[in-house]
Amino acid sequence: MARGDGKLTHDLNPAEQGPQDACGVFGVWAPGEEVAKLTYFGLYALQHRGQEAAGIAVSDGTSILVYKDLGLVSQVFDEATLATLRGQIAVGHNRYSTTGSSTWENSQPAFRTTKTGTGVALAHNGNLVNTAELAEQLRGERSRGAQPVATTDSDLLTELLAAHPDVSLEEAAMRALPTFRGAFSLVFMDEHTLYAARDPQGVRPLALGRLERGWVVTSETAALDIVGASFVREIEPGELLAIDEDGLRSQRFANPDPKNCVFEYVYLARPDSILAGRSVHSSRVEIGRRLAREHPVEADLVMPTPESGTPAAIGYAEESGIPYGMGLVKNAYVGRTFIQPSQTIRQLGIRLKLNPLRDVIRGKRLVVVDDSIVRGNTQRQVVRMLREAGAVEVHVRISSPPVKWPCFYGIDFASRAELIASGLDVEGIRASIGADSLGYLSQEGMIAATEQPKSRLCLACFDGSYPIPLPQMIGKHVLEGIERGVSEPAREPIAENR
Ligand code: SF4
């Protein structure tokens, strides 16, 4: 998996990575409240969606201040920093890079000034598929005085929004949003107004919440609970929402054609989030029940690969009547580290992350439930580790169908050639990971567990049917080389923290 050139954080072993989340976005409009702190806690709740960089932009009504850096939310912000971010509107972002490298410049919120001197700060979850086309459009705008340099699709969006000097940001957004193709759940702002917009397919989630004295927009509803906001509704696909002292204004910039990412239900979203009215945890437990019906096996213990496999393992155990237990303990904080691991440490691979409970495993026939298989490296090592710990049989059950196609809408799986299921059938994968048996949930079973109609879901990584057409030349670094070196970066009123 291409992971950019991270300068601070390091994967202990990139080959062990499962699917990587896109990003988390969070916005607050709440005069009189500590909007930066609310955003901090919102981002904290969304940390699972991106761990490479974090940032918060605030407006006090006259200017916008942006603070961002590489690292986890807790590493980027402290009490003193948050105290300097005063205002009534805030936009926050957790980044995992799906376009552009993992550098400070590419972290978000992205910021631009318009020709009239007002600011635009933007946080983006998703991935555009027409960046090359938009970059061309920007060249046209540049000739009319727009600011240069964009190295991510999110940066490009910000520039395009700021490129209309003679209209309000709201009007600029209504002009620009219909030209964006791909997945975009956006939270952005100028000095006075918070905006939220979601692509016509609504690929990535985006929800609206109510504070006692204000509004919140978030990637996932779980973050609403954490900041004490109540859920109001999802931002509709194709909707632009504006929030300011005049209240809420909703406009449609495109007809909705919902294709929600099914992988949010399987793996990406927090279990305590609600997607399209369906509890993610309930979906995963139901997935496990269906998995037990589709792929039963005689065994002594059902256990998850922690932690994403846990609800499905509970469902499998309930349905099969086989006892549920924990056979692996996750070393929760070792996944991303600021210490560059040596080759010797890298070779420890999965052992750095998972530790077997030998007393639980020894002499048992195990059902091991995991959310997906990308390259197969993790599962191969888990099976070997469990056998070494004394398991007599290891039956692997996967709570999604085989991932055969890459995602172009914000999830970094791997290239097609790297996906084990694009080259091997189920028996071939079973042999490759060394399991006694292997069972994947059917596509029908997965869809049924979400309680969404198939027509409203994106299933492209499973069936190759991409709901948003892809241009021929597309990839993570599509903007690099097109945009770099065109001219000097624009000066931004940013509190740098490099
Ligand atoms: S391709 Fe897969 S991961 Fe990507 S949006 Fe579609 S369902 Fe989600």
| pLDDT number for residue 18 | 55
| pLDDT number for residue 185 | 97
Of these residues, 23, 261, 407, 458, which one is catalytic? 23
| pLDDT number for residue 424 | 95
Helix residue spans in 49-168 (DSSP H) = 73-76, 79-84, 131-142, 153-162
104 burial class (0-12, 13-18, 19+ CB within 10 angstroms)? Answer: middle
Asked if residue 203 has its Cβ within 6 Å of ligand 1, the reply is: yes
| pLDDT number for residue 481 | 37
How many C-beta neighbours within 10 Å does residue 393 have? 17
Asked if residue 468 has its Cβ within 6 Å of ligand 1, the reply is: no
| pLDDT number for residue 99 | 56
How many C-beta neighbours within 10 Å does residue 487 have? 10
Q: Compute mean pLDDT per 10 residues along the chain, 498 residues long, and list them.
A: 30 47 90 97 94 94 95 94 97 79 80 89 94 82 58 85 87 94 96 98 98 97 96 98 97 98 95 96 98 98 92 98 95 57 65 90 98 91 96 98 93 83 95 98 98 97 94 53 30 24
The 3-class secondary structure across 471-495, one letter per residue, is CCCCCCCCCCCCCCCCCCCCCCCEE
Nearest residue to 94 via CA among 270, 219, 208: 219
- DSSP, collapsed to helix, strand or coil, labels residue 171 as helix
Cβ atoms of 39 and 92 closer than 8 Å: yes
| pLDDT number for residue 153 | 83
Question: Helices 377-388 and 426-433: crossing angle, nearest 10°?
Answer: 50
Catalytic (active site) residue 23: yes
Choosing from 1, 411, 454 the residue with most ligand 1 atoms within 8 A of its CB, the one to mutate for a pocket test is 411
Q: Which amino acid is at 110?
A: A
Cβ atoms of 125 and 196 closer than 8 Å: no
| pLDDT number for residue 330 | 87
Asked if residue 263 has its Cβ within 6 Å of ligand 1, the reply is: yes
Give nearest CA residue, ligand 1 atom 2.
461
409 C-alpha to center of ligand 1: Å? 6
Choosing from 203, 266, 450, 465 the residue with most ligand 1 atoms within 8 A of its CB, the one to mutate for a pocket test is 203
Phi and psi at residue 8, in whole multiples of 5°?
-110, -50
Is beta strand 437-440 parallel, antiparallel or unpaired with respect to 393-398? parallel
| pLDDT number for residue 91 | 98
Cβ atoms of 404 and 419 closer than 8 Å: yes
454 C-alpha to center of ligand 1: Å? 13
- DSSP, collapsed to helix, strand or coil, labels residue 269 as coil
**How many distinct helices (H) and strands (E) make up the chain?**
17, 26
Q: Report CA-CA distances (Å) from 175 to 52, 141, 167, 179, 184.
A: 32, 13, 10, 8, 16
